[in-house]
């Protein structure tokens, strides 16, 4: 009735009464459920399951945290190990580059020193070989020069001592062209024959100091007599052959000294020629040897420079990393 008659009256509104129902424990009206076993069982199951889930969640959370911690520790150990390996490798490379550079530097000096010494030794040996070859090739010339000088000297001495221009029926030059000045026996025989033909008629060929030879005025005979007297050790007479032999030996010895001097001069001349002709060739060859030595030293020095640059770069990078690490450590400590 109220609703029917109030639809045309706007100031009259219908109000609905709300009914609230709750299971709050403090509600005195809910005390009727305290002794309800089913409700209590539900509550216990709920609490038990909730507690179990919370425990499981805590266990999973702790397990995850432990795994994350272990993984983090492993990562830290890997980073530390890797850092140590990199550091050791860099240090080894630095030391290797430095030692290699020092070693190659000393090798470069040794190559320059010993290479130069070796080339000089080779030059000396090559020059000596060239001189020996020149002397061997000129041995005939040296012998001819010695023979010619000896023959000229012995002819000069024979002319001065014996006053002879011929020997063995030949001119002295012709005679010594076929007879060596060292052939004392042949020269002694020729002078003795000349003495027998010129100075004595005695076929025995003896001469006494007590006797005066009639032909002593002949210069040759007088010379032989004087030489016999000079070499005689007693007052008794000696054989003219022995006297002539002694005199010829002295003459040949003097001629041999002149021949040796001439041989030395000829040998020195051959040496000078060999040195002059060989020096240019040896110098040219040694210049070609100095070239590879210089190139080797240059290559070694370039390698040393590269090693030094690598060493400096690695050292700079390592110091830079250490500086950054120190900055990070400082920030973490703050």
Q: pLDDT tens across 134-158, in order?
A: 777 777 788 888 888 888 888 888 8
pLDDT bin (cut points 50, 70, 90) of residue 28 is very low
Instruction: Quote the CA–CA distance of 162 and 195 in Å, as a whole number.
Output: 10
- Using CA atoms, how far residue 15 sits from 1, 8, 144, in Å, is 15, 17, 166
CA distance 117 to 268: 27
Give the model's confidence band at 235: pLDDT under 50 very low, under 70 low, under 90 confident, else very high. Answer: very low
| Residue 240 near residue 209, CB atoms below 8 Å | no
- Mean pLDDT calculated for residue range 10-18: 52
pLDDT reported for residue 334: 63
Q: Position of tokens 């420079």?
A: 305
Segments making up each domain of the chain, as ranges? 144-273
Q: Which DSSP string corresponds to 161-226?
A: HH--SEETTEEHHHHHHHS-TT-HHHHHHHHHHHHHHHH---TT-EE-TTS--TTTTSHHHHHHHH
**Structural tokens at position 37:** 């076993």
**Within a 10 A sphere around the Cβ of 124, how many other Cβ atoms?**
11
268: part of which helix (H) or strand (E)? helix 240-333
- Nearest-angstrom CA–CA distance, 99 and 284: 38
Q: What is the pLDDT of residue 207?
A: 45
Q: Which residues, listed in sequence order, are joined to residue 238 by a DSSP beta bridge?
A: 207
Nearest CA-CA partner of 305 in 21, 130, 150, 108: 108
Kindly report the pTM of this predicted structure: 0.46
Range in 107-116, 250-259, 274-283, 285-294 with the lowest mean pLDDT? 107-116
DSSP-derived 3-state class of residue 13: coil
| pLDDT tens, position by position, 30-86 | 556 667 777 888 888 888 889 888 988 888 899 899 988 888 888 888 888 887 887
Of 26-35, 103-112, 281-290, 300-309, the one with minimum mean pLDDT is: 26-35
| Residue count of the chain | 334
With 0-12 / 13-18 / 19 or more C-beta atoms within 10 angstroms meaning exposed / middle / buried, residue 155 is: buried
Distance CA 150, CA 182 (A): 8
Q: What share of the chain has pLDDT > 90, as a percent?
A: 0
């Amino acid at each position: 009735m109220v609703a029917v008659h109030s639809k045309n009256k706007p100031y009259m509104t219908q109000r609905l009464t709300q009914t609230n129902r709750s299971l709050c424990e403090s509600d005195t009206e809910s005390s009727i459920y305290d002794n309800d076993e089913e409700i209590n069982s539900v509550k216990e199951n709920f609490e038990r399951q909730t507690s179990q889930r919370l425990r499981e969640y805590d266990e999973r959370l702790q397990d995850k945290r432990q795994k994350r911690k272990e993984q983090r520790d492993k990562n830290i150990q890997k980073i530390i190990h890797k850092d140590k390996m990199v550091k050791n490798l860099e240090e080894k490379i630095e030391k290797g580059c430095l030692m290699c550079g020092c070693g190659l530097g000393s090798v470069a000096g040794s190559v320059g020193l010993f290479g130069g010494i070796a080339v000089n030794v080779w030059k000396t040996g090559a020059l000596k070989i060239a001189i020996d070859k020149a002397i061997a090739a000129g041995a005939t010339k040296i012998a001819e020069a010695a023979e010619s000088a000896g023959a000229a000297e012995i002819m000069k001495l024979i002319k001065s001592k014996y006053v002879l221009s011929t020997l063995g029926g030949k001119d002295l030059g012709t005679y010594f062209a076929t007879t060596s000045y060292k052939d004392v026996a042949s020269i002694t025989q020729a002078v003795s024959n000349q003495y027998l033909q010129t100075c004595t008629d005695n076929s025995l060929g003896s001469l006494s100091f007590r006797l005066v030879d009639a032909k002593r005025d002949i210069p040759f005979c007088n010379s032989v007599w004087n030489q016999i007297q000079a070499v005689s050790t007693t007052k008794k007479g000696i054989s003219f052959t022995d006297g002539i032999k002694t005199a010829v030996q002295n003459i040949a010895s003097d001629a041999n000294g002149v021949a040796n001097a001439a041989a030395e001069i000829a040998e020195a001349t051959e040496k000078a020629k060999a040195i002059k002709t060989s020096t240019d060739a040896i110098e040219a060859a040694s210049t070609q040897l100095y070239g590879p030595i210089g190139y080797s030293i240059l290559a070694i020095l370039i390698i040393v420079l590269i090693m030094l640059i690598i060493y400096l770069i690695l050292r700079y990078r390592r110091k830079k990393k250490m500086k950054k690490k120190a900055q990070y450590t400082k920030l973490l400590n703050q």
